[in-house]
């Protein structure tokens, strides 16, 4: 063998190895799937061909070479047949092309029989550096064009499917098509020398490339979940290949260039050098490959972890609907590395689905009616729709294809709530890595979509609740005004009436001459007394209106300031105590002088006390006592509001802080009072709890952290 | 305004209000006794035997309603004039007038002069 000829047997050996390993691998993944079986058969034919090919090129004995050349032809005869069968199954055309396949099988068996005669391979002759190149017989001359025809026809079938496919499937077929062209043109270089054309089989090794690409495509096509195994295998193959190269290359170089044609000893020397090299380099190569493997194989797992973490902590807790969908799209695109991503939400008012958040989708105002083919498919089947699924089915409806183009998605997942409604659709575009969505992806994405659906309907409910709450709050305000009005009327009209009365009395007394026996000094004194009273009464009236206005307009933002509990309770009692006294409720205050201030919003604290005191007062139906206590315990301020009312049954006490829970008659209470009170208490850093006994009364307990006094 | 002036008892929990009434009516020769404690009012009524009773409706302890009831049974001759800030679209007013009250005036009273007229009308009408 000379130097250039070493490549050829080696290419055969590599082709044989590759086809055996990948053929077995693909078969092991699914032994009953016709696509896998035909691929394995195809690999088998290449393995037979390549093994004999290798043996044929390394032998020095003519008889062996002839036997081997007929051997490799035995494999080669079946390559086109299995190839076409495989392509046909891969493209789901096996039923349509059944007769053609049978015909080609028949043809191949005839060729196999012919291969036993000298009319196929006639003999051997030296060509270029090859000592024993086979001479084609007459049947070979028929075989070869058929072989070429089948190759071209197979490629044509792939091309046709490629043109009709979309999305990831198109990518996959692109692989197969390119692979086919590379593989067949590589393999074809074997046949020039048969006819004396001086082109050596220099591209033979490309057959391996083809097998590899097709294996990749078929496995991706069928077995999405074994991607990891594929990659691991590829890394293993890389390790094997590099080891092989290290062993072989130095040996060959030494052998061919340094020593020339040499004997066994020199080959051994070459091997020794390779051996030493391997001993030193192997660990590094292994580490390097392990690193690459780790990065390559487990990168995705980290991503999934990140995805889940981000979603549970950052995304799904968002209650603002707009922010929720935007964050979802951003995070999904970022973590899965998507070309595009979008969320369509159902608009209750308009009655259609609208694109509310998107990334990488040019068209921003995409609106789809529930009757839209895509939308109704998703809402009716409640299953996701991917390009993968479509290509398996018979035909993708044009309208869905159009929507897929508009929304730029490969995968659309309906967001289904527990109630079975579809508040939205999540669309995921092509991954930047060009990889398809695997079962692994779906295992993460589907539960994620379910959770997202819940989060979205929560956020929507929150918006609705906000609206109802605003409405209810308005009702509540009216109820408050009702409660207050009696007291307020009294508190305002009385002082005004008194002030007016004093002035009127003075003027009428003057007019009626009732003061005529008084001196002017006495009159001035009288007037002074009256004016003092008038000022006192107008102050009273002003005070109540001021309290009322500060009370009815709570600020929107929480203002944090030092709030004196005692003072705020007094303010609230000023508004309600009159009415309570009328209802025969005694108010007892037990607020220690040492009770520190709390950091809170003054108006909100007033709101809390007002609601609790009013609630307690309303619980008392006939005579009773309302006790307000406040004390300091360590760094906390505890306030108790205790009434001697009807109490709350044990089975209801859990619910009293729930929105819309009310024990009052319809129209009397909105049920939002305590729900809002709790929200406001918590917003101000406090806690609220309740204890109650039916027939004895109820006590609300408030706890706030005491304000830390700033040092002067 | 000749003749005898009516004897008045005023019961209202607003001390300033009744002191103002005292100021006005006493100077004009009315015999007026007042209290801001409703419970004392009953005592006052049975001791003084007033011709006219000025009553607030809502008071701590005992309500004007109850006093009216007592008066009707014990001193049916006494005329009752309610002066109150309580407003429920006339329902209470109608009820009280029905129950025998002579008049029902809103607080603040339009004028003391008008109140005086009402008192005199109540008295002379007897």
Q: Does residue B92 form part of some domain?
A: yes
Instruction: For chain B, say whether A581 makes contact (Cβ under 8 Å).
Output: yes
Q: Are A493 and A578 in contact (CB under 8 A)?
A: no
Q: Which residues of A touch B106 (CB under 8 A)?
A: 493
Tell me the per-residue pLDDT of A286-343, one tens digit each, with 9 for 90 and over: 667 666 655 555 455 546 777 777 777 777 777 788 888 998 898 888 888 888 999 9
CB atoms A512 and B28 under 8 Å: yes
Mean pLDDT of A62-84: 89
Q: Which of A191-205, A234-248, A465-479, B87-101 has the lowest mean pLDDT?
A: A234-248
Tell me the per-residue pLDDT of A376-429, one tens digit each, with 9 for 90 and over: 888 888 888 887 655 555 566 778 888 888 888 889 999 988 888 899 999 999
So what CATH class is A562-712?
A: alpha beta
Query: CA of A580 to nearest chain B CA: how many angstroms apart?
Result: 9
Q: Which of A443, A410, A29, A435 is nearest to A219 (CA)?
A: A29
Q: Does residue B76 form part of some domain?
A: yes
Q: Which of A191-195, A305-309, B20-24, B92-96 has the lowest mean pLDDT?
A: A305-309
Answer yes or no: is pLDDT of A369 > 70: yes
Q: Are A677 and A661 in contact (CB under 8 A)?
A: no
Query: CA of B27 to nearest chain A CA: how many angstroms apart?
Result: 7
Q: Does residue B106 form part of some domain?
A: yes
- Find the CATH number of the domain harbouring B38: 3.40.50.2300
Q: Does residue B2 form part of some domain?
A: no
- Cα–Cα distance list, A674 to A136, A642, A704, B106 (Å): 98, 15, 17, 36
Q: Which residues of A touch B113 (CB under 8 A)?
A: 504, 508
CB atoms B107 and A497 under 8 Å: yes
Mean pLDDT of A496-515: 88
Q: Is the pTM of this model over 0.95?
A: no
Q: Which residues of B touch A505 (CB under 8 A)?
A: 20, 23-24, 112
> Left if phi > 0, otherwise alpha if psi is -120 to 50, otherwise beta: which for A351?
left
Helix, strand or coil, per DSSP, at residue A517: coil
Domain that holds residue B49: 7-124
- Burial classification of residue A231, based on how many CB atoms lie within 10 Å of its CB (0-12 exposed, 13-18 middle, 19 or more buried): middle
Query: CA of A526 to nearest chain B CA: how many angstroms apart?
Result: 11
Instruction: For chain A, say whether B112 makes contact (Cβ under 8 Å).
Output: yes
pLDDT value of residue A427: 93
Instruction: For chain A, say whether B87 makes contact (Cβ under 8 Å).
Output: yes
So what CATH class is A3-226?
A: mainly alpha
Structurally, chain B folds into a number of domains equal to: 1
Query: CA of A489 to nearest chain B CA: how many angstroms apart?
Result: 6
B18 to chain A: nearest residue by CA? A498
pLDDT value of residue A2: 45
Q: Are A414 and A372 in contact (CB under 8 A)?
A: no
Q: Does residue B22 form part of some domain?
A: yes
Q: Does residue B29 form part of some domain?
A: yes
CB atoms B14 and A494 under 8 Å: yes
Q: ipTM value of the model?
A: 0.85
pLDDT value of residue B10: 93
Highest averaged pLDDT of the listed ranges A230-239, B39-48, B84-93: B39-48
Helix, strand or coil, per DSSP, at residue A599: strand
Q: Does residue B83 form part of some domain?
A: yes
pLDDT value of residue A201: 83
pLDDT value of residue A675: 77
CB atoms A497 and B109 under 8 Å: yes
Q: Which residues of A touch B58 (CB under 8 A)?
A: 486, 490, 582
pLDDT value of residue A397: 75
The H or E element that residue B22 is part of is helix B15-27
Question: Mean pLDDT score of chain A, rounded to an integer?
Answer: 80
Query: CA of B15 to nearest chain A CA: how many angstroms apart?
Result: 10
Helix, strand or coil, per DSSP, at residue A354: strand
Half-sphere exposure of A141 toward its Cβ, with a 13 Å CA cutoff? Answer: 8
Q: Are B27 and A510 in contact (CB under 8 A)?
A: no
Instruction: For chain B, say whether A635 makes contact (Cβ under 8 Å).
Output: no
Mean pLDDT of A50-78: 89
Q: Which of B23, B87, B108 sits opposite A496 (nearest CB)?
A: B108
CB atoms B108 and A486 under 8 Å: no
Tell me the per-residue pLDDT of A520-534, one tens digit each, with 9 for 90 and over: 899 999 899 889 989
A582 to chain B: nearest residue by CA? B60
Answer yes or no: is pLDDT of A682 > 60: yes
Q: Which residues of B touch A504 (CB under 8 A)?
A: 24, 111-113
Q: Which of A642, A652, A626 is nearest to A701 (CA)?
A: A642
Identify the CATH assignment for A304-464 out of 1.20.210.10, 3.20.20.480, 1.10.3720.10, 3.30.450.40.
Answer: 3.30.450.40
- Cα–Cα distance list, B96 to A442, B38, B125 (Å): 78, 18, 19
């Amino acid at each position: 063998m000379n130097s250039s000829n070493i490549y050829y047997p080696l290419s055969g050996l590599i082709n044989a190895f590759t086809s055996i390993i990948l053929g077995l691998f693909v078969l092991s993944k699914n032994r009953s799937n016709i696509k896998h079986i035909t691929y394995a058969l195809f690999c088998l034919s290449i393995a037979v061909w390549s093994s004999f090919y290798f043996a044929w090129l390394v032998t020095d004995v003519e008889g062996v070479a002839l036997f081997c050349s007929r051997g490799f032809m035995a494999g080669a005869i079946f390559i086109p047949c299995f190839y076409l069968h495989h392509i046909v199954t891969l493209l789901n055309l096996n039923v349509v092309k059944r007769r053609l396949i049978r015909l080609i099988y028949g043809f191949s068996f005839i060729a196999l029989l012919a291969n036993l005669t000298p009319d196929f391979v006639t003999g051997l002759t030296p060509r270029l550096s090859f000592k024993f190149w086979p001479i084609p017989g007459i049947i070979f001359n028929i075989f070869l064009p058929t072989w070429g025809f089948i190759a071209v026809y197979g490629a044509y079938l792939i091309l046709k499917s490629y043109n009709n496919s979309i999305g990831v499937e198109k990518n996959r077929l692109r692989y197969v098509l390119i692979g086919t062209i590379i593989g067949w043109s590589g393999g074809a270089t074997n046949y020039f020398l048969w006819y004396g054309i001086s082109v050596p089989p220099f591209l033979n090794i490309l057959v391996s490339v083809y097998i590899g690409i097709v294996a990749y495509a078929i496995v991706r096509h069928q077995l999405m979940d074994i991607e990891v195994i594929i990659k691991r295998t590829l890394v293993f193959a890389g390790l094997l290949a590099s080891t092989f190269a290290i062993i072989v290359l130095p040996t060959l170089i030494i052998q061919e260039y340094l020593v020339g044609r040499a004997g066994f000893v020199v080959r051994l020397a070459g091997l020794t050098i390779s051996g030493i090299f391997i001993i030193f380099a192997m660990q590094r190569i292994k580490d390097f490959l392990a690193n690459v493997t780790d990065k390559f194989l487990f990168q995705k797992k980290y991503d999934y972890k990140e995805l889940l973490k981000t979603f549970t902590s950052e995304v799904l807790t968002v209650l603002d609907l707009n922010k929720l969908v935007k964050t979802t799209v951003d995070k999904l695109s970022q973590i899965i590395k998507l070309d595009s991503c979008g969320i369509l939400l159902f608009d209750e008012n308009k009655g259609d689905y609208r694109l509310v958040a998107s990334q990488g989708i040019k068209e921003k105002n995409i609106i789809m009616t529930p009757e839209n083919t895509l939308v109704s498919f998703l809402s009716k089947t409640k299953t996701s729709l991917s390009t993968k699924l479509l290509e398996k089915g018979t035909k993708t409806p044009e309208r869905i294809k159009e929507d897929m183009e508009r929304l730029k998605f490969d995968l659309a997942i309906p967001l289904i709530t527990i109630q079975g409604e579809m508040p939205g659709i999540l669309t995921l575009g092509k991954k930047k890595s060009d990889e398809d969505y695997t079962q692994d992806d779906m295992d993460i994405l589907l539960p994620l979509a379910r959770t997202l659906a819940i989060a979205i309907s929560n956020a929507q409910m929150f918006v609705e609740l906000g609206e109802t709450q605003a409405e209810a709050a308005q009702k509540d305000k009216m109820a408050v005004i009702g409660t207050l009005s009696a007291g307020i009327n009294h508190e305002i009209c009385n002082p005004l009436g008194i002030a007016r009365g004093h002035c009127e009395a003075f003027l009428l007394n003057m007019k009626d001459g009732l003061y005529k026996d008084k001196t002017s000094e006495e009159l001035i004194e009288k007037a002074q007394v009256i004016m003092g009273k008038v000022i006192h009464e107008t102050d009273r009236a002003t005070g109540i209106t001021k309290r009322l206005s500060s009370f009815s307009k709570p600020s929107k933002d929480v203002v944090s300031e030092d709030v004196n509990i005692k003072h705020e309770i007094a303010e609230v009692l000023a508004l309600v105590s009159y009415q309570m006294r009328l209802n025969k409720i005694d108010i007892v205050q037990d607020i220690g002088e040492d009770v520190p201030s709390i950091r809170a919003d003054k108006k909100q604290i007033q709101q809390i006390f007002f609601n609790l005191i009013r609630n307690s007062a309303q619980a008392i139906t006939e005579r009773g006592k309302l006790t307000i206590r406040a004390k300091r315990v360590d760094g906390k301020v505890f306030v108790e509001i205790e009434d001697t009312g009807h109490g709350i049954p044990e089975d209801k006490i859990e619910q009293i802080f729930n929105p819309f829970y009310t024990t009052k008659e319809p129209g009397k209470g909105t049920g939002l009072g305590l729900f809002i009170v709790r929200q406001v208490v918590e917003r101000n850093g406090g806690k609220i709890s309740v204890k109650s006994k039916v027939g004895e009364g109820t006590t609300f307990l408030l706890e706030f952290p005491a304000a830390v006094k700033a040092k002067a | 305004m000749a003749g005898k002036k009516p004897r008045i008892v005023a019961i209202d929990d607003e001390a300033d209000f009744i002191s103002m009434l005292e100021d006005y009516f006493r100077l004009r020769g009315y015999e007026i006794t007042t209290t801001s404690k409703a419970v004392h009012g009953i005592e006052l009524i049975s001791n003084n035997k007033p011709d006219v009773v000025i009553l607030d409706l809502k008071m701590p302890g005992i309500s004007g309603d109850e006093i009216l009831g007592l008066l009707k049974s014990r001193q049916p001759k006494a005329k009752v004039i309610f002066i109150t800030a309580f407003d429920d679209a006339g329902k209470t007013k109608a009820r009280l007038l029905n129950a025998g009250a002579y008049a029902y005036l809103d607080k603040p009273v339009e004028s003391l002069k008008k109140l005086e007229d009402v008192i005199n009308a109540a008295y002379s009408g007897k």
